[in-house]
Amino acid sequence: MADIGYVALLLALVASIYSAIAFIYGVGGSHRGLTDSARNGLLAVFGLVSISVAALIYALVTHDFQIEYVASYTSRDLSLPYLLSALWAGNDGSLLFWAWLLSLCAAVVVLQKRDIGKELMPYASSIIMVTQAFFLILLLFVSNPFHKLAFVPAEGMGLNPLLENPGMIFHPPILLAGYVGFTIPFAFAMAALLTRRLGDEWIIAIRRWTLMSWLLLGVGNIIGAWWAYVELGWGGYWAWDPVENASFMPWLVATAFLHSIMMQRRRRMLKVWNMVLIILTFSLTIFGTFLTRSGVISSVHTFAESPLLGYLFLAFIGVTLFGSLGLLYYRSEGLKGEAEMESLVSRESTFLLNNLLLVGAAFAIFLGTVFPVISEAVRGVKISVGPPFFNQVNGPIFLAIILLTGICALIGWRRASIKNLARNFLWPLVAALMLGIALFFLGIREWYALVAFLVCGFVLSTIVYEWFRGTRARHRLRAENYLKAFLGLIGSNRPRYGGYIVHIAIILIAIGVVGSSFYSVEKEAALMPGESMTIKDYTLTYDNLDSYETESKLVVMATLSVYNQGKLIGKLIPEKYFHRSYQQPVTEVAIRSTLIEDLYVILIGWDEDGTTAFKVLVNPLVNWIWIGGVVFVLGGLIAFWPERRKLPAPGQAKAERE
Amino acid sequence: MGLKGKLSIILLIVLLSFSPAKADAATVGDISKQLICQCGCNTVLSNCECGTQEAMTALIEQKLAQGQTEDEIIQSFVAQYGEQVLASPPASPPKKDFNLVLWVLTPIAILGGGGAIYMALRKWGRRGRQSRAGRTRRK
């Protein structure tokens, strides 16, 4: 089986190199058949990498421990979902999965019926195949997932117990799909530069690819945050770990890109800037992979360190970054914008500011992530850059971005009159101020939290206010009832209203982040059975300690009765797992979650005399982060969902560009 | 071996240094948020779960009990482990330090970008006025 997988990869490499070259020669004109052949080569790559993935899955499911990868990440007692998830548990497997996702995207690109961007497709496909070849070379010569051991171990090492969580089944593949997806917009951008077709064509062709990748990356991160929160047992969801940063940076830059391509389509502005943004996004996705796999920067996510792999990634980033920026420089004549502004106060200005801040935030995160390396090189002193830096620098930037979200929607394109502004801003401002006063009297006195909630309230009311006005207009104009009018409004311009829903999601997440960052309460206590501790309105009485055994682990569980203002509201059972195959115990936290706050209990340890130590946190508003995540997906899907396909009519491409 | 025996063996292996937190929890929490655990996990001390974390936390508690201030305790950790024990390089006093770069580069970049945007907007505004003027003349 291992040999089939490896040979398939080898053939895929040959096919991808052939396809990359044939696409370019094929469009030259004299070899029409060659483009079709290149296309078939690309589809063959997809088929071959799929065979290779199937071979690895077969080896994982049948416990073929002679394959080193299978022996390193699985064991016989692992259930089927986790056996399958081992595909992306280690470095080699996840690279194979990456290569497969890329070949899948490539296949979709060539099979897609497209009215716009036909001329770009061969060049874009060629660039995708070059990337594909790079990953196949890594798989074949540096991190071969089919590497065989000289002997057959009786049992595998098993999956790291921290990874045995539903998060493992969703977080890595979704995140990887997001990373991989950005290859497509990048490839089309390069194709536009190569062919000098520098109009809006490429932007129309990749809008939904970008949206999809951006959505996947965002959801992947939210699932990761949720996973950290319920599994890692430190009461938080985001630690500004280098690898979290690595997936957050491309998301931020892609967010800027999604906004600035609107400027290009509407106003023919920012053509060079859009190119820069997509080049940065793609380079950052590869940088993220480099960070996880090179061991240059230590992180909880690091795979086994391999300096060679690190250098290869670095070389690839260098070639893409300088190659594409160089190409951009040579083509910059053709990218001169036709920018004209009528007023400084216009939606265009807010879009530019939003772009600046999003890229600024990504820059701050990049700087913080690589600064330990810089410091060591410059001063020879090892330092750490952690949450205090990232929170202090990014907090104000994110707040400004959220504020702009609200302002932007209220200011029209081109120019805004004072009368217009006053009419649009009055009610949201009144609503936000009332909220601020109410919060102040409810006891929110920390000024930063107060300002943040105020901003969130303001932006939320701008969106609600606009929806209300649009719905009312439809209601009056078409005599529809309010619900139908509202749904009609959303359906009338899905990219736009989907975008608004995503804005609401971001605000919900912000509310959760601000609440839990500023008002989290933490308490540690050592209790004898029968003793109680109090935190905020909760009283926790420690009932007893018990344990049971499963096939793979010993579970120690503590039972606590939870009272709220004297009334029993339930039991919480934090646990600790002691896996036979792993030395470190794993903490299973117990969480009682409401819309207002989470009661979060960690079992720390116990003494022979029966004293048991707990760490208890009350984290306000955390649930709103997950609710925001769901709303984020909803809004993204509404914006992403294809418009009903119209019959392609001559001149449609032109009409769509208008 | 009964349950009690197993529990006590686990206890011996894993939780030798466990001691109930008696000091002011808030202050221990405050300090451990500013330090990085030195077990190699590279996470903030209060987030890690390992023997090193327990030892470091115990040391903080002990120093607090001796009446040391937050600053003194943090400085003692820096003296022992070097700057890398700090969760972030200190913002103050950074005056002559290379770490200043970390803190000021982003604000400078954003201000610079803001300046560039302002200049571009003015240029485009002039161009807009010119082309509008041109259109009116043609009419």
pLDDT tens digits along A357-409: 999 999 999 999 999 888 888 888 888 888 889 999 999 999 999 999 988 87
Q: What is the pLDDT of residue A200?
A: 87
Evaluate whether A530 touches A541 at the Cβ level (below 8 Å): yes
B112 touches chain A (CB under 8 A): no
Q: Is the pLDDT at A601 greater than 70, yes or no?
A: yes
Q: Is the pLDDT at A594 greater than 90, yes or no?
A: yes
The lowest-confidence range among A28-37, A61-70, A282-291, A514-523 is A28-37
- pLDDT-based confidence at B136, cuts 50/70/90? low
- CB-side exposure of A649: number of CA atoms within 13 Å? 6
What does the block give as tokens for A123? 């060049």
CA A374 to chain B, closest CA, distance in angstroms equals: 10
Contacts of A65-68 with C-beta under 8 Å, sequence gap 24+, read A65/A149, A65/A152, A65/A153, A65/A154, A65/A155, A65/A156, A66/A2, A66/A148, A66/A149, A66/A151, A66/A152, A66/A153, A67/A2, A67/A145, A67/A146, A67/A147, A67/A148, A67/A149, A68/A147, A68/A148, A68/A149
Amino acid at A497: Y
Closest residue to A360, CB basis, from B34, B50, B113: B113
Q: What is the pLDDT of residue A649?
A: 44
The residues spanned by each domain of chain A are 1-164, 165-335+343-386, 417-519, 521-620
Residue with tokens 């280690």, as numbered in its chain: A90
Q: Which among B43, B131, B135 is the top mutation candidate for probing chain A, defined by the most A β-carbons within 10 Å of its own β-carbon?
A: B43
Q: What is the pLDDT of residue A302?
A: 59
Burial A81-98 (b: 16+ CB within 10 A, else e): ebbebbbbbbbbbbbbbb
What's the 3-state SS for B34-98? CEECCCCCCCEHHHCCCHHHHHHHHHHHHHHHCCCCHHHHHHHHHHHHCHHHECCCCCCCCCCCC
What's the 3-state SS for A444-494? CCCHHHHHHHHHHHHHHHHHHHHHHHHHHHHHHHHCCCHHHHHHHHHHHCH
CB < 8 Å from B in window 149-188 of A: none
Per-position DSSP letters for A261-314, written without gaps between them: HHHHHHH---HHHHHHHHHHHHHHHHHHHHHHHH-SS--TT--S--HHHHHHHH
Amino acid at A397: I
The lowest-confidence range among A461-475, A487-501, A574-588 is A574-588
Burial A206-223 (b: 16+ CB within 10 A, else e): bbbbbbbbbbbbbbbbbb
Number of other residues whose CB lies within 10 A of the CB of residue A291: 23
CB < 8 Å from B in window 223-262 of A: 232-234, 236, 239, 241
Residue with tokens 């595909």, as numbered in its chain: A87
Tell me the CA distances in angstroms from A181 to A105, A177, A541, A628, one per residue in order: 7, 6, 50, 23
Q: Is the pLDDT at A112 greater than 90, yes or no?
A: no
CA A533 to chain B, closest CA, distance in angstroms equals: 13
The C-alpha atoms of residue A16 and residue A22 are separated, in whole angstroms, by 10
Contact criterion met (CB < 8 Å) for A298 and B44: no
Q: Is the pLDDT at A130 greater than 70, yes or no?
A: yes
Average pLDDT over residues A305-329: 89
- pLDDT-based confidence at B15, cuts 50/70/90? very low
Dihedral class, residue A361 (left if φ above 0, else alpha if ψ from -120 to 50, else beta): alpha
Number of other residues whose CB lies within 10 A of the CB of residue A648: 12
Bridge partner list, A533: A540
For residue B97, what is the nearest residue in chain A, using CA coordinates? A379
Q: What is the pLDDT of residue A299?
A: 60
CA B62 to chain A, closest CA, distance in angstroms equals: 16
Sign of the CA dihedral with A342 first, then A343, A347, and A351 last: positive
Q: Is the pLDDT at A346 greater than 60, yes or no?
A: yes
Q: What is the pLDDT of residue A593?
A: 93
Evaluate whether A178 touches A289 at the Cβ level (below 8 Å): no
CA B137 to chain A, closest CA, distance in angstroms equals: 18
Q: What is the pLDDT of residue A321?
A: 94
The C-alpha atoms of residue A517 and residue A485 are separated, in whole angstroms, by 39
Tell me the CA distances in angstroms from A145 to A49, A88, A272, one per residue in order: 13, 11, 40
What does the block give as tokens for A104? 């899948």
Strand pairing of A567-572 and A553-564? antiparallel
B5 touches chain A (CB under 8 A): no
Number of other residues whose CB lies within 10 A of the CB of residue A160: 16
Q: Which residues contact A650 (CB under 8 A, 6 or more apart)?
A: none
- pLDDT-based confidence at A435, cuts 50/70/90? very high
Dihedral angle, C-alpha A465, A466, A470, A475, nearest 10 °: -10
Question: ω into residue B90 within 30 of 0, thus cis?
Answer: no
Closest residue to B88, CB basis, from A359, A388, A605: A388
Burial A52-77 (b: 16+ CB within 10 A, else e): bbebbbebbeebbbbbbbbbbbbbeb
Contact criterion met (CB < 8 Å) for B36 and A342: no
A549 touches chain B (CB under 8 A): no
Q: Is the pLDDT at A235 greater than 90, yes or no?
A: no
Number of other residues whose CB lies within 10 A of the CB of residue A126: 24
Across chain B, what does the average pLDDT equal? 74
Q: What is the pLDDT of residue B100?
A: 85
CA B73 to chain A, closest CA, distance in angstroms equals: 18
Per-position DSSP letters for A317-343, written without gaps between them: HHHHHHHHHHHHHHTGGGG------S-
Q: What are phi and psi of A593, to 5 degrees?
A: -110, 130
Name chain B contacts of A299, Cβ cutoff 8 Å.
42
Name chain A contacts of B10, Cβ cutoff 8 Å.
554, 556, 578, 585
Q: Is the pLDDT at A233 greater than 50, yes or no?
A: yes
This model of the complex carries an ipTM of 0.84
Candidates A52, A217, A71, A184; CA nearest to A117 is: A184
For residue A229, what is the nearest residue in chain B, using CA coordinates? B47
CB < 8 Å from A in window 52-111 of B: 82-89, 91, 98-99, 102-103, 105-106, 109-110
The C-alpha atoms of residue A495 and residue A639 are separated, in whole angstroms, by 4
Contact criterion met (CB < 8 Å) for B82 and A239: no
Q: What is the pLDDT of residue A236?
A: 86
Average pLDDT over residues A605-614: 88
Contact criterion met (CB < 8 Å) for A524 and B25: yes
Candidates A357, A468, A352, A371; CA nearest to A411 is: A352
Q: What is the pLDDT of residue A394?
A: 94
What does the block give as tokens for A387? 């949450």
Tens of pLDDT, residues B29-67: 788 888 888 877 778 887 777 778 888 888 888 888 888
Q: What is the pLDDT of residue A481?
A: 87
Domain A1-164: top CATH class: mainly alpha
For residue A237, what is the nearest residue in chain B, using CA coordinates? B47
Contact criterion met (CB < 8 Å) for A343 and B125: yes
For residue A578, what is the nearest residue in chain B, using CA coordinates? B10
Q: Is the pLDDT at B109 greater than 90, yes or no?
A: yes
Q: Which residue has the higher pLDDT, A617 or A334?
A: A617
Closest residue to B86, CB basis, from A239, A340, A384: A384
The lowest-confidence range among A542-546, B2-6, B134-138 is B2-6
CA B109 to chain A, closest CA, distance in angstroms equals: 7
Across chain A, what does the average pLDDT equal? 89
For residue B30, what is the nearest residue in chain A, using CA coordinates? A522
Tens of pLDDT, residues B58-96: 888 888 888 888 888 888 888 888 888 888 887 655 445
Candidates A164, A226, A16, A8; CA nearest to A102 is: A16
CA A577 to chain B, closest CA, distance in angstroms equals: 11
Name chain A contacts of B91, Cβ cutoff 8 Å.
392
- pLDDT-based confidence at A303, cuts 50/70/90? low
The C-alpha atoms of residue A298 and residue A282 are separated, in whole angstroms, by 23
Tens of pLDDT, residues A262-298: 888 888 888 899 999 999 999 999 998 888 776 666 6
Q: What is the pLDDT of residue B111?
A: 95
Average pLDDT over residues A421-434: 86
Residue with tokens 């992947």, as numbered in its chain: A220
Interhelix angle for A121-141 vs A91-111, to 10°? 160
CA B94 to chain A, closest CA, distance in angstroms equals: 14
The C-alpha atoms of residue A169 and residue A225 are separated, in whole angstroms, by 14
Average pLDDT over residues B88-113: 80
Closest residue to B11, CB basis, from A344, A375, A606: A606
Contact criterion met (CB < 8 Å) for A385 and B42: no
Amino acid at A366: F
Per-position DSSP letters for A11-47, written without gaps between them: HHHHHHHHHHHHHHHHTTSS-HHHHHHHHHHHHHHHH
Q: What are phi and psi of A151, to 5 degrees?
A: -135, 170
The C-alpha atoms of residue A241 and residue A369 are separated, in whole angstroms, by 8
Q: What are phi and psi of A6, to 5 degrees?
A: -70, -45
- pLDDT-based confidence at A29, cuts 50/70/90? low
Q: What is the pLDDT of residue A651?
A: 43
Contact criterion met (CB < 8 Å) for B121 and A367: no
Q: What is the pLDDT of residue A30?
A: 63
What does the block give as tokens for A572? 């919480």
B17 touches chain A (CB under 8 A): no
Tell me the CA distances in angstroms from A314 to A286, A376, A569, one per residue in order: 9, 19, 55
Closest residue to B106, CB basis, from A239, A360, A608: A360
- pLDDT-based confidence at A199, cuts 50/70/90? confident
Contact criterion met (CB < 8 Å) for B20 and A526: yes
CB < 8 Å from B in window 390-449 of A: 390, 392-393, 397
- pLDDT-based confidence at A318, cuts 50/70/90? very high
The lowest-confidence range among A99-108, A181-190, A240-249 is A240-249
For residue B99, what is the nearest residue in chain A, using CA coordinates? A375
